[in-house]
Amino acid sequence: MIASRAGCVGLLLAVLATRAFGVDIDGRIDADEWREGRHITDFRKTQPLNGEPGSLATEAWILATPDGLAVAFRNFQPPSVPRNLQRVQRDSEEQVDRINVMIDFDGDRRTGYNFRVTSTAGIYDATLTNETEFNKDWDGNWRHAVGGDANEWTAEVLIPWHIAPMRENTGDVRTIGIYLDRVVGSTGERVAWPLASFERPRFLSDFAPLEVTSYKQSLLAVTPYVSSLYDAIDRDNELDAGVDLFWKPNGQLQLSATVNPDFGQVEADELVVNFDATETFISDKRPFFTENQGIFEFTTPSDFSQLLYTRRIGGPTDDGQGAADIIGALKLNGSIGATKYGVFGADEADAAGRSFGALRLVRDFQEQNLGILATRVERPYLDRTASVVGIDHNWRPTARWNVRTRLIGSEIDEAGTSISGDGATVWADYEMDHGWRQQWIGMHFSNDLEINDAGYLERNSTNYAHWQLNRRFTQLPVESRYASKDWRWRVSTSYNDAGQLMNHQFRISRESRLRNGSYEYGQININSAGVDDLLTRGHGVVNLPPNFNSYFEYERPRQGNWAYHVELEANSGGLSGNDKVGYSINLEPTYFISDALNVYLGLYTSRTPDWLVWQRDNLIGSFDGEESNFNAGFNWVMTNRHELRLKLQAVVVNADIRQGYRVDLAGNAVPTDEVVEDFSVRNLGVQLRYRFEIAPLSYLYIVYGRGGYEQRAESDDRGRLLRDTFSLRDDDQLLVKLSYRFES
């Protein structure tokens, strides 16, 4: 038995540590090219997560070459199983036939990279951190091709060694972590090797260790851009230029720099009308700020929280005179032995500009890793300096446990006054047998914790705990429309840092995947009475009665010429509690004129019968609030290098005052005769964008954008407001941008 195992190990090493072998990435799997690759046939179902062999045969090959890691897939799919031939934009998450290759280049279970190819040669790439968190803002330069016939489709990818930082390796063999999967678009079935799933708390840690020949690559990439912005309102033309630089002399060092980066004018953010006291999170798509950003990842269980939120850089200036100009930024990533490091710096122009700095250190061990992230922001216009230090620890004591711990401290010096705050979180997941799981989360953020100079935290002054029990059902009857169901039951409690109860909550939810590839999610929250300590912006808390909210979502992927997405919500709240119930309805059908062209029309309407909106100091208004959204557009992917899209959003809010209130010292809302006015809001965003990919990561953009915002101290009919929204014209611009990546 021992001799047999030794022979297998020797054979495996001989196969994987093979001589340099080239592969032509053309989508056709040539037996001679792949004969020395690792052949994988044991693909098992992970959606539904039952570990059974796949319904359709899938095989793959893995081969280390001097040019990069090559992977090939042969996906058997006879005519009886419909094949989705829809073309998709880069980083689209449409339900289509596709394969995924995910790699942990250091094999330390900290950062992975996801490379996806669809059956029509569309691609998606993302970073993977914290076991299951994907970020598709990152774009890499890698090769891919697809082919096939009526009974199968094939895919080949080549991922260069320089695409990610890697620790120094002194031997001839390197151990990486790898995961492969294939998704059938018409059913949603996913099969994977190894048997790992992002539906479990541990995913990245379950990648298969694989020994490959240790190759080294260097890279120098320079991406200059020029742009011309014509303002049709001011009749003014603005020329701009900048450059991004990426240098990797070896696997242990990567340097990124940018001079005058653009603020993503070619992207269209979702319109949000926000009257809450908390900030809306918006992701960052600027290439410099997404390249090798995974080392700086530091999150907590609080939604979207992170210590380094790069949208701060180039955001509104401290004097409120528009967006800041970025002079330049620098990022250095590398490793020394088992320790990884990252250094980040950015400067904004003018007296109201800021300086940002960050230092990151991470040390990996066999079953855990430990890291520290320090940030510092200097804001001379406000005479303010913000310093934050966070320590993160990830522990995987067994295959069933995953424990994540965070400690955070902040110190703010402003106008000669210093304030310190602290925070701590723990997140523990335990995987049991027969689909059962448990989760515990605890969070403490002190009232004086401030990380939002460089980071993002929805709110401080929080003490939160929950226990959640999950049960996954995957062995459902064949006649069931469902392929899997995942039930979750949660109890939680939340207090602010003054010890005031915000609420106790009981939640029940179910996530389901259907056999036709559709997705379904439903949730009900029952909330106890508590206080809202943010509504009055520091002028006291407001006592609120018990309430509930419920949510349902259904998404059906393309079948024939149609796909659609539905969201429904019912909730109570405000001072009325469960006496007044509001609702929202969102319906967005998509019609496919062809595999390359689709049009969509989204309609959203909601009513909040007791909507509390802050006015000033401790004065609040209770409004009968209504909102309507109109979303429309088209996506025309002419080829995988040419695309034209239209995105139109119109949002209107109408609020009729029911009653004004003053909040007393005990938190009671006392009716007042003070005048609180009705109001209405109109918001418009239109973008027509053409993109041509000249070469990998080199683009020509032609973008027309128009938008506007108006708030009035009067209410109106929602239909009239929506029609009038299309006359808004605060911005009316045409942008032409050219960027080209030079590599050597």
* Residue 505 tokens, joined: 């909550």
Interval 161-196: pLDDT, tens: 999 888 888 788 999 999 999 999 999 999 999 999
User: Does the pLDDT at position 18 exceed 60?
Assistant: no
- In the chain, % of residues over pLDDT 70: 97
Question: What pLDDT sits at residue 12?
Answer: 44
Question: What pLDDT sits at residue 221?
Answer: 94
Interval 269-309: pLDDT, tens: 777 778 888 888 888 888 888 887 888 999 999 988 999 99
Query: Are the C-beta atoms of 72 and 37 separated by less than 8 Å?
Result: yes
Question: What pLDDT sits at residue 35?
Answer: 93
Q: How confident is the model at residue 198 (pLDDT cuts 50, 70, 90)?
A: very high
Interval 563-582: pLDDT, tens: 999 999 999 999 999 999 99
Interval 444-489: pLDDT, tens: 999 999 999 999 999 999 999 999 999 999 999 999 999 999 999 9
Query: Are the C-beta atoms of 505 and 495 separated by less than 8 Å?
Result: no
Find where tokens 């602290």 sit. 422
Give 483-490 contacts, CB < 8 A, sequence gap 24+. Answer: 483/47, 483/48, 483/187, 483/188, 483/189, 483/513, 483/514, 483/515, 484/47, 484/48, 484/49, 484/512, 484/513, 485/510, 485/511, 485/512, 486/199, 486/510, 486/511, 486/512, 490/466
- Please state, in angstroms and as integers, the Cα–Cα distance from residue 626 to each residue in 44, 603, 681, following that order: 48, 14, 10
* Closest to 683 (Cα-Cα) out of 275, 337, 393, 316: 275
Average pLDDT of the residues of the chain: 92
Domain ranges of the chain: 2-215, 217-244+583-744
CATH number of 2-215: 2.60.40.1190
Q: How confident is the model at residue 15 (pLDDT cuts 50, 70, 90)?
A: very low
Residues shown for the chain: 744
Bridge partners (DSSP) of residue 209 are: 177
Say which residues have a Cβ less than 8 Å from residue 108's Cβ, sequence separation at least 6: 167, 338, 364, 369
Q: Which of 10-19, 337-346, 679-688, 712-721 has the highest mean pLDDT?
A: 679-688
Distance between CA 76 and CA 150 in Å, rounded?
9
Find where tokens 């530091």 sit. 298
Q: How confident is the model at residue 4 (pLDDT cuts 50, 70, 90)?
A: very low
User: Does the pLDDT at position 364 exceed 60?
Assistant: yes
* Residue 390 tokens, joined: 């966070």
Question: What pLDDT sits at residue 264?
Answer: 57
Q: How confident is the model at residue 145 (pLDDT cuts 50, 70, 90)?
A: very high
Cα angle 645, 97, 99; round to 5: 105
Interval 696-710: pLDDT, tens: 999 999 999 999 999
* Residue 483 tokens, joined: 């392929």
Cis before 165 (ω within 30): no
User: Does the pLDDT at position 11 exceed 50?
Assistant: no
Distance between CA 600 and CA 295 in Å, rounded?
38
Interval 390-407: pLDDT, tens: 999 999 898 899 999 999
User: Does the pLDDT at position 9 exceed 80?
Assistant: no
Distance between CA 598 and CA 596 in Å, rounded?
7
User: Does the pLDDT at position 251 exceed 90?
Assistant: no
